Structure 1
Amino acid sequence: MRKLTAGLFISLDGVVGEPQEWHMPYFNDEMGAAVDAQLTSADTLLLGRRTYETFAGAWPQREAEGGEDAEFAKVLGDMRKIVVTRQDLTFTWRNSERLQGDLIEAVAALKNEPGEGDIAMSGSVSVVRQLLAAGLLDELHLLVHPVAVRKGMRLFDEGEPPIPLRLISAKPFTTGVVYLVYGPAQTAAAGA
């Protein structure tokens, strides 16, 4: 079974929405390497519609311009990209397709397809929430930024059942960002 990973920028107070408004002051080579490693271990990207539109609006142009991130842009372009959407889309970025059928059933089937690489997600918060709740996400990569944004979409909604997770790794960066990787846990950890 293929591994499904999701990467998100998140504030100390749990905000994941609109990271372009608060994320960039903390971006450095350490963070770039973490994002690259999570995404380039995959041969398939699973993206929500808004994330796909943002990526498709930026990465093909970066690849064509041949700048410093052109090689990474080419890697993304060469990957299979599966978009979760209810809307009809015209795919302008190569190797892009729409996820067919029910999200949970289709992702479970995708994880069972043969493949060498992981299936990676970036952003796509509503999709991440659904896959976490369904137990289909194998790793949640959180880049926790040392800022309280105090408004915006949070990763977890109030009133939903708990989702127990276990810490796989933790690494602080020089900017104060902490890179946390979580996986599913069978039950919540007992307190000491």
Structure 2
Amino acid sequence: MKKITASLFSSLDGVVEAPDQWHFPYFNDEMGASVDARIGAADTILFGRKTYDSFAGAWPEREAAGGEDAYFAKKLGDARKIVLSRSKLDFHWRNSEQLEGDFTKAVTALKNEGDGTIGLSGSVSVVRQLLAEGLLDELHLLVHPIAVRKGLRLFDEADTPIPLRLAESATFSTGVLDLLYVPAEAPAAAGYEEARTHLPEEEQS
């Protein structure tokens, strides 16, 4: 079964919108390696329409230019790219197609196609749907030490909490936190009476 991994740049206050406006000062070799290990290793990439348009408008030209990022651009071009949209789409970037049918059934079918990784970069609306449907296997957050203070946040308001477990973590020299979360069981009910048992007690003389 394929694994679905979503990777997002996040500010300290949870903003994931328009990272091109605030995250580049923190991009270094450590972050480049982390991004390549997640999205660069995916054989299939799932996109929302806006994110796909942004990628398709930049990466094919970067691959053709043959610059320092051409290697990564070729990885993106060679990967199978599946776009979620309500409108019928025409594609000019190779290996691109549209997700057909019911979202949950279609994504479940993708997961069942065999081994490998389905990656996401950005595409917040798609990540939200995957989390809500229990289809996301890994949530990779690169948390930057900056409060952007405006913009879309990953988690919207809802009645149902989403429990997660921290599976891996690292701190880059820039102060960026590289965090990998996986689904978890909901914690047992508890209140202050349970919590206070873990407070330090006065030492006995």
- TM-score between the two structures when normalised by the length of structure 1: 0.96
Moved over 4 A (4+): 189-192
**What number of residue pairs does the alignment pair up?**
191
CA contact (8 A) 1:46 1:84 kept: yes
Residue of structure 1 in register with 2:133 after alignment: 134
Whole-angstrom distance in 1 between the partners of 2:96 and 2:104: 19
CA deviation profile, 1:61-117 (whole Å, cap 9, x unmatched): 0100000111111111011000011122221100000000111111111000124x2
Whole-angstrom distance in 2 between the partners of 1:139 and 1:79: 19
Q: CA deviation at 1:155?
A: 0.5
Whole-angstrom distance in 2 between the partners of 1:40 and 1:152: 26
RMSD value over aligned CA atoms? 1.3
Residue of structure 1 in register with 2:90 after alignment: 90
Structure 2 counterpart SS, 1:105? helix
Whole-angstrom distance in 2 between the partners of 1:187 and 1:96: 37
Whole-angstrom distance in 2 between the partners of 1:29 and 1:176: 13
Aligned residue runs from structure 1 range 14-29, under 5 A: 14-29=14-29
Change (3 A) 1:89 1:184: same
Percent identical:
68
Structure 2 counterpart SS, 1:171? strand
Residue of structure 2 in register with 1:12 after alignment: 12
Whole-angstrom distance in 1 between the partners of 2:158 and 2:122: 22
CA deviation profile, 1:102-136 (whole Å, cap 9, x unmatched): 11111111000124x20100000000011011110
Structure 2 counterpart SS, 1:61? helix
* Unmatched tracts of structure 1, length 5 or more: none
Moved more, 136-145 or 13-22: 13-22
CA contact (8 A) 1:165 1:188 kept: no
Residue of structure 2 in register with 1:151 after alignment: 150
* Unmatched tracts of structure 2, length 5 or more: 199-205
Whole-angstrom distance in 1 between the partners of 2:167 and 2:114: 25
Moved more, 181-190 or 12-21: 181-190
Whole-angstrom distance in 1 between the partners of 2:65 and 2:26: 25
Aligned residue runs from structure 1 range 70-89, under 5 A: 70-89=70-89
Whole-angstrom distance in 2 between the partners of 1:37 and 1:160: 34
Q: Which structure would you say has the larger Rg? A: 2
Moved more, 39-48 or 134-143: 39-48
Whole-angstrom distance in 2 between the partners of 1:167 and 1:114: 26
Question: Are 2:40 and 1:64 aligned?
Answer: no
CA deviation profile, 1:32-73 (whole Å, cap 9, x unmatched): 110011012211000111110011011100100000111111
Whole-angstrom distance in 2 between the partners of 1:64 and 1:184: 39
Whole-angstrom distance in 1 between the partners of 2:76 and 2:159: 34
Whole-angstrom distance in 2 between the partners of 1:167 and 1:176: 18
CA contact (8 A) 1:7 1:38 kept: yes
Whole-angstrom distance in 2 between the partners of 1:45 and 1:150: 29
Structure 2 counterpart SS, 1:42? coil
